[in-house]
Structure 1
Amino acid sequence: MKNWLRKHPQVRTIRVAAADLNGQARGKRIPTRFADKVVEDGTRFPMSVLNLDIWGEDIDDSPLVFESGDADGILHPTERGFLPMPWLDAPSALLPIWMFHEDGRPYGGDPRHALRAVVDRYKSRGLTPVCAVELEFFLIDDSGRKLQVPLSPRSGKRRKAAETLSIRALDQFDEFFTDLYDACEEMDIPADTAISEAGLGQFEINLMHCDDALRAADDAWLFKMLVKGLARRHGFAASFMAKPYEDYPGSGLHTHFSVLDKNGNNVFDDGGPQGTAIMRHAVAGCMNAMAGCALVFAPHANSFDRMVPGAHAPTGISWAYENRTSSIRIPSGSHKARRIEHRVSGGDVNPYLMLAAVLGAAMNGIEDGAEPPAPITGNAYAAELPQIPGDWKSAIDAFENSEEVKRIFAPEMVRNFILTKRQELHYMQELTPQEQVEIYLDTV
């Protein structure tokens, strides 16, 4: 890690940052000449910092604050090391960190450790999950009271219409996307295909599959940070909030995953289109935990505006082959790439918690040998299906009472997440919809 800074002498400051429960980067700005100390000894800040609400406030009844004396955790660099920060004017570097107890134990309230614990369950069986994510986001002109599509840098006009798979829409913001792909190269984020989506100024970029789930979550977390920062350099906002426009679809964060055995074989591949028994067990696990994990997939007040029937976001719990109305989709294509697509999450999720929930639920099903119901055909919205919680309070209650959730997440994580979301629910009810949008636009 030290060699990276020596190879980039123009970098004058670093940021050390960890993801809190909402996926917000929390950390410090440090002059480069003191970076060696952070690399060698880590840095410290209160454990409660990873358990702030969406406004960055302490959780009122959290035992991490006054009850424990607001004790420190110690944070060490992740294996990712230093990364450039191309959205800033001054040459700067980001050092991702994660939290431990003084005695070296992982801190159970750190979202990255939640995912690590799930990956360890796979490792104990000689298995490795392979993950890829598709991230949707909006480019937004938020300079006035009403959100709207930014002016096209090419024509100076606003195109106030859906632009599904429009090359013209991509070309209008070509300078932004060119800079974005260059920045992804600098940060070693595997950005692949970009498309325009059905919302106003909405786009999707796929990140390539990765056989390291922690790195896949790192990539998604860093990508969200990069997109939002770089958009501001271009004079507009970028947001991963679930539903900025009432009359258009919201943004999802779809996850594709398969599982390799110790010999590198895809355990979902049966040589044909159906997939193996292990794949069905994983599907069943995902379905069984879906209601309980809805709070992870839809963590904010605005999240549930996206999850309405017929709006390209799942509302029922189902699975199907090559069917985008279902919550779990088995894509077609080569049997060697047989995989599961989990389609519930909004773009506003914490990627670490989301992948922990998806992969942890799948492992629950694999461990139990669970069997799913028959796959559906046709329109899932028109079928009578068990429903994903449709409002924030119901999702909080389901998370708190779910036995599947308790198998995936550490007790400290479950407690902290519930306390955080109950506090946010209380204070969000005091705000107008416009005030809520203003909070979520830049934060999530």
Structure 2
Amino acid sequence: MHPHLSTADEALAWLEANGIRRVELVFADLTSVARGKILGTASFLETAGAKMPSLLLGLTVTGGEPEAVFDRIFPQTFPDMALRPDWSTLVRDPLAKVPTASILCDIEARFTAADGQRQVNVAELAPRQLLKQMLNRLAAAGYRARVAPELEFFLVHEQRNADGSLQVAHGMSARVPHVESSHDVSSAETAASFAPFFDDLWDACEVQGIPITGYGHEAATGQYEVNFGPGEPLAQADAVFRFKRLARELARRHGCRATFMAKPYLQEPGTGMHWHISLSDVGGNNPFTDSDGSAHPRLRHFVGGWQASARASIAILAPYVHSYVRLQRPDAAPASAEWGYDNRTVAFRIPHSDPANRRLEHRLPGGDANPYLSLALMIGAGLSGMQQRLEPGPETSDRPAVSAAGALPLNLAQALDEWERCPIMLETFGAPFVELYTLIKRHELDEQEADPDFALKHLLDRS
């Protein structure tokens, strides 16, 4: 089980007591790719960390090195950055044959930018540390957050159909595989046919302290959703980051592939990563609830911050050209930045709940979005909304959300234009990250538009 360690001495004692022979040190890049290295335990005990080239934070999803990034930000001398373990994240690797542990790292490095004019602090560019900075800002305002994700993914076969499309994975519970030939929405039988995969996945999640509470078949063929119990935002982002790795590797071991790309099938609903968010103040009270039990104006203002930054935030929540195909089908994903009560067609939903548990659901992120950046964005934009008392547009609770006034960008190029000039995004992430993200994504934009097979070639396993 997850050891729940808090100091280096506790962590090192746990490694020795459990006969751990290797330690994997990883950090999250701008995508869902875990980057890092594996050390023998003796070497890890000696160094309690590692060094890697800082250029790793300037890579595209394909591992490319955009010229603009290395002309303006990262020096071509490729200076080192230090990986500093977060001891609370030390867990056993449940899939390794040799006793192995895995630990998430923050990054330390400062150097002169490639343009020779600025000092770069790598902590301002690393997704996990950006979320930590946002949580510190939230705490300074007197609040704490609890969040719970709902994460969707598809199980597919390696072999494609004759037209180049993906094949839906067949169930694996019996000698005769279960074939999903039509939409088995919420089918317990279809979900049960993948029991060998989900049993192993659930067991692996328990070892790593990933708080999944259930799973089920979703609306599209081959699509599944996993629910997480509520928790502290950084731990939940860590959990999603690790869950994706476990799902992908275990699917491969069971003869199929798990993918979080936004739209594996163009005629089917896409992959979402919805987040439920609640706040508490220093007294443990819900700031979204007034003294008489009604919704406090802060709830509207939080939504107002989301709405005011929605067109820019899509650059994070839909990070690839392919991601926008998901947003162009309003019956399966929000197509405009509207809000309302218990309405699953809006981007920002207020689920029915008692006053003490009043919360919001952000439904824009795709399964291909970075969980750290997504949460930093949601918390930062909502906090800005409360602090500036931003009022949202009219509530949409009794009809499908199709408002042209809240229309989202139609493609990544439009979203990046909004992202660069949005004051809430600048306040949330800071100018250094806004610049880096823009340069990387504009380079990827050119790559994706030049290759019609980019999504299946590069995003199937990396989104």
TM-score, normalized by the shorter chain, greater than 0.5: yes
Alignment of 1:16-415 (within 5 A): 16-39=25-48, 42-63=49-70, 67=75, 69-101=77-109, 107-144=123-160, 146-153=165-172, 154=174, 155-210=176-231, 212-270=232-290, 274-415=294-435
Q: Closer, same or farther in 2 for the Cα pair 1:367/1:381, shift >3 Å?
A: closer
Q: Secondary structure of 1:80's match? A: helix
1:4 matched to 2:14: yes
May I ask how many residue pairs the two structures share in their alignment? 439
Aligned partners of 2:332 and 2:244: how far apart in 1?
22
Aligned partners of 1:102 and 1:413: how far apart in 2?
15
Q: Closer, same or farther in 2 for the Cα pair 1:38/1:272, shift >3 Å?
A: farther
Aligned partners of 1:193 and 1:270: how far apart in 2?
32
The amino acid of 2:99's aligned partner reads P
Q: Closer, same or farther in 2 for the Cα pair 1:8/1:315, shift >3 Å?
A: same
The amino acid of 1:36's aligned partner reads L
TM-score of the two chains, using structure 1 as the length reference: 0.94
Contact 2:54 2:74 in 1 (8 A): no
Aligned partners of 1:79 and 1:284: how far apart in 2?
37
Alignment of 1:425-440 (within 5 A): 425-432=445-452, 434-440=453-459
CA shift for structure 1 position 125? 1.7
Q: Closer, same or farther in 2 for the Cα pair 1:224/1:271, shift >3 Å?
A: farther
The amino acid of 1:176's aligned partner reads F
Aligned partners of 2:264 and 2:292: how far apart in 1?
41
Q: Which runs of 5+ in 2 are unaligned?
A: 1-10, 112-119
Contact 1:242 1:346 in 2 (8 A): yes
CA shift for structure 1 position 122? 1.0
Aligned partners of 2:179 and 2:393: how far apart in 1?
47
Contact 1:58 1:65 in 2 (8 A): no
CA shift for structure 1 position 4? 2.4
Q: Closer, same or farther in 2 for the Cα pair 1:198/1:307, shift >3 Å?
A: same
My pick for the range that moved more, 149-158 or 17-26, is 149-158
Contact 2:159 2:167 in 1 (8 A): no
Aligned partners of 1:224 and 1:197: how far apart in 2?
17
Q: Secondary structure of 1:380's match? A: coil
CA shift for structure 1 position 397? 1.1
Q: Which runs of 5+ in 1 are unaligned?
A: none
Q: Secondary structure of 2:226's match? A: strand
CA shift for structure 1 position 161? 2.1
Contact 1:136 1:205 in 2 (8 A): yes
Q: Closer, same or farther in 2 for the Cα pair 1:2/1:175, shift >3 Å?
A: same
Q: Secondary structure of 1:425's match? A: helix
Identity among equivalent positions (%) equals 31
The amino acid of 2:373's aligned partner reads L
CA shift for structure 1 position 102? 5.3
The amino acid of 2:279's aligned partner reads V
The amino acid of 1:2's aligned partner reads L
The amino acid of 2:159's aligned partner reads S
Aligned partners of 1:304 and 1:112: how far apart in 2?
25
The amino acid of 2:67's aligned partner reads D
Contact 1:134 1:253 in 2 (8 A): yes
Aligned partners of 2:244 and 2:460: how far apart in 1?
12
The amino acid of 2:41's aligned partner reads T
CA shift for structure 1 position 75? 1.6
TM-score of the two chains, using structure 2 as the length reference: 0.90
